Amino acid sequence: MAIIVSQIKTGLEQPREYAITRAARELRLSDNEIKSSKIYKTSVDARHEVNFVSSVYFELHNSAKERSLAEKHANVKLFTPCEFTVNCGNKPLDGDIFIAGFGPAGMFCALTLCEFGYKPVVLERGAAMDERIRAVSDYWENGALDPKTNVQFGEGGAGTFSDGKLTTRINDPLCTRVLEKLCEFGAPEEILTKAKPHIGTDNLRGIVKNLRQRIIELGGEVRFLSPLENIEICNGKIRSISSEGAELRCGALVLSIGHSAHDTFQMLLKNGVKLVPKPFSVGARIEHLQADIDKSLYGKFAGHPALPPAEYALSYRENGRGVYTFCMCPGGFVVASASSAGSIVTNGMSYFDRAGANANSAVLVSVSTDDFGNEPLSGADFIWRLESKTYEMSGNGKAPAMLTREFLGENGGMSLGRVIPTYSLGVQQCDLRELFPDFVSEYLAKGIRQFERRIRGFSDSDSILTAIETRTSSPVRIPRNELFEAETCENLYPCGEGAGYAGGIMSAAVDGIKTAVKIMEKFAPNA
C-alpha cells in the first residue's frame, strides 16, 4: 500500500524534488518513516501566482500510518497499484483473430493479446511508418495526396501526425499501463509524472515502430496496405473476411478502424452491421503567436525557463450547443490532413519540443442528428459535403483562411500581420462565413468572443482561422454489448475512436486493451 498527497505547491525557482520535502513536512513524516517517495504528477497552476502543483507518492514502513493519514487529511488518499490479470476462456477460435486498423486502439489490442499468448493478425490499410512519412511529406510539400497512405491512414493512425497528447478524461487505471508501455517503447519518462503529458509526433513515430516489432516478436502479424474489404456474416457470426482479394477464415474481428474510414462504414452497413449516427463537431484551426499565449496565461512569468509553452482548453455552451477548443498544439503547425481527393481537412501537430512560433487549436461547434439527419451515415455525408465545399472555395488546393477579427466583423478581407499561417500548402483568403452553415458561424463567433474574456487577444492579435476541421471524432457509433461484441454480430468487436468509443490516443489505447481482455475471456489462445 502507499499514499498520494495532492495539492503540494512549489515555486518556479525551487527544484522539482522540493515537493517531496514539502509534502513530508506537511504530514510531519520523518525520514525513517518513509520507505520510498517520488513525484507522482505535476502541473502548472497559472490562475493567480504562477507555480507548480504536484502530487507526491509515499510508501511508508507502517501501513496503519498510511490509512490514518488518508482518513485525517482531505488531500491524502490511499494508492493501490492496478493489477492486470486475465482469466482466459476455453472456447476454440474458428479462424484467426483479425484486427482492422493499427492506430492506438488496434496497437494496444494486438499487443495485449500477444502478451497472453494469442497471435492476432493486424490488417492496416495504409503503409508502414517510413513509407507513410514519405507519402505525407510529399503531400505537404507538393500536394500529391495518396488516398491509401496519408495523415489519416497508416501505421500509428491519425494520432501519428499530431501533438501526441496523452491527456484524457476517462480516469481509468489502465491509463497507467498505457503510459508505462509507451515508455517501454521509447517515450520520455516524464510522461509518467506530467499532468498533461505529450510525446510529440517525432517521438511517436519511433515508439509505434518499436511496439509493432514487439507484437511480431511475440507471434503476432502486421500486414500493411491490407484494407478490410468485406465481411461474410453467417448465423449472426462473422465466418470470413476479405483483404487484398483473399478470403480469410475469421474467429474474431476487432474493428479499430479510426474515425475516417467512411468507406468501411458503408461496407459494414451493407452487410447488416448496425450503425447509428452520433454527434461530433466542426470548425476551424485558430493560430496565435505562442509568445502571445504565454504572455496572456503566464503574465510577467512568460518566458521563464522552468515553464513549458502555455496551453489552454476553453469551452462555452448556450442553448444546448457547445463551442470549445480541441487538440491545442503549443508551438505547433496546422497540417493538411485530407484522405481523399477533392477535399481539404486541417489538423494540428507539434514536435516534442513545441518550439514553433505559433500556437494552434481547433475551435469547434457541436453538431447533432438534428443538424444532419438520423440515417446511419448522415453525419459522414455532412462531413464530406463540408470538406468538398472547402476545396471548391479555395479553388487551388490551398486552405481557406480568414483573420479572426474579420470573421467576427463584417469585413471579409485578410491582411496578414504578425501571425504567419503554417499550413504548408498555403492559404487562400475566403469568407469562412460562406463555408459553414449559419448556425456554425453564429456559434463559432459567440465562442470566440467568450474565449477573449479568458485569454486576452484570443480574437485579435493578428490571429487567423484556417478551415476546415471535421475529423474530431467519428460520425457513427457501432453499438456493442457488455461483452464488447457488436449487437448484430457476436464475434465482431467495435473498438476505439472509429467505432465511437474513444476520443484520443489514451482512451483509444485503453479501449483496445479492454477489447483484448473481452476476447481472451471468451476464447482460448490460438495455436
> Cell numbers 509507451 label which residue?
182
How far apart are the C-alpha atoms of 25 and 92, rounded to whole Å? 57
Residue-wise pLDDT for 120-159, tens only, equals 999 999 999 999 999 999 999 999 999 999 999 999 999 9
Dihedral over alpha carbons 79, 171, 72, 60 (to 10 degrees):
20
**Alpha carbons within 13 A on the beta-carbon side of 55:** 17
Instruction: Give buried/exposed letters for 496-512 (b at 16+ CB in 10 A, else e).
Output: bbbbbbbbbbbbbbbbb
Q: Would you place residue 203 in the very low, low, confident or very high pLDDT band (cuts 50, 70, 90)?
A: very high
Query: Which pairs from 62-70 meet CB under 8 Å and 24+ separation?
Result: 62/33, 63/1, 65/33, 66/1, 66/2, 66/3, 67/1, 69/3, 69/27, 70/3
pLDDT at position 400 over 70: yes
pLDDT tens column, 249-286: 999 999 999 999 999 999 999 999 999 999 999 999 99
Q: Are 92 and 523 in contact (CB under 8 A)?
A: yes
For residue 270, CA distances in Å to 246, 276, 329, 347, 443 come to 19, 14, 38, 30, 36
| Beta-carbon-side half-sphere exposure of residue 126 (alpha carbons within 13 Å) | 31
d(CA 186, CA 203): 8
| Cβ 474 vs Cβ 281: under 8 Å | no
Query: pLDDT tier at 239 (50, 70, 90 boundaries)?
Result: very high
Strand bridging mode 427-429 / 96-100: unpaired
Strands (E) across 313-391 are located at 315-318, 321-329, 333-336, 346-349, 358-367
* Residue 451 CA to its chain's centroid (Å): 23
pLDDT at position 410: 63
Element (H, E) at 43: strand 34-45
Question: Which residue is listed with cell 484551426?
Answer: 285
What are 187-196's pLDDT values in tens digits?
A: 999 999 999 9
Assigned C-alpha cell, 134 = 514519405
What would the pLDDT profile of 211-228 be if each residue is shown by its tens digit?
999 999 999 999 999 999
What number is the average pLDDT over the span 391-397? 88
Taking a C-beta distance cutoff of 8 angstroms, is the pair 204, 349 a contact?
no
User: Is residue 331's pLDDT more than 60?
Assistant: yes
pLDDT of 47 reads: 87
Residue pLDDT, tens place only, 401-455: 999 999 998 665 678 899 999 999 999 999 999 999 999 999 999 999 999 999 9
Find out whether 421 and 366 touch, Cβ atoms under 8 Å: no
pLDDT in tens, 98-108: 999 999 999 99
Which three cell numbers mark 464?
487567423
Please report, for residues 183, 398, 465, 467, the alpha-carbon distance to residue 429 in angstroms, rounded to integers and kept in the order given: 43, 9, 10, 11
Q: What is the full DSSP assignment across 170-201?
A: ---THHHHHHHHHHHTT--GGGGTBSS-B-HH
**Does the pLDDT value for residue 395 go beyond 90?**
no
Q: Which residues touch 6 (CB under 8 Å, ≥6 apart)? A: 55, 75, 76, 77
Kind of pairing between the strands at 464-469 and 280-289: antiparallel
Q: Is the pLDDT of residue 527 over 70?
A: no
Q: How far apart are CA 57 and CA 220, in angstroms?
A: 37
Average model confidence (pLDDT) for the chain? 96
Please identify which residue in the block is written with the cell numbers 511496439.
211
CA angle 399, 323, 308 (to 5 degrees): 75
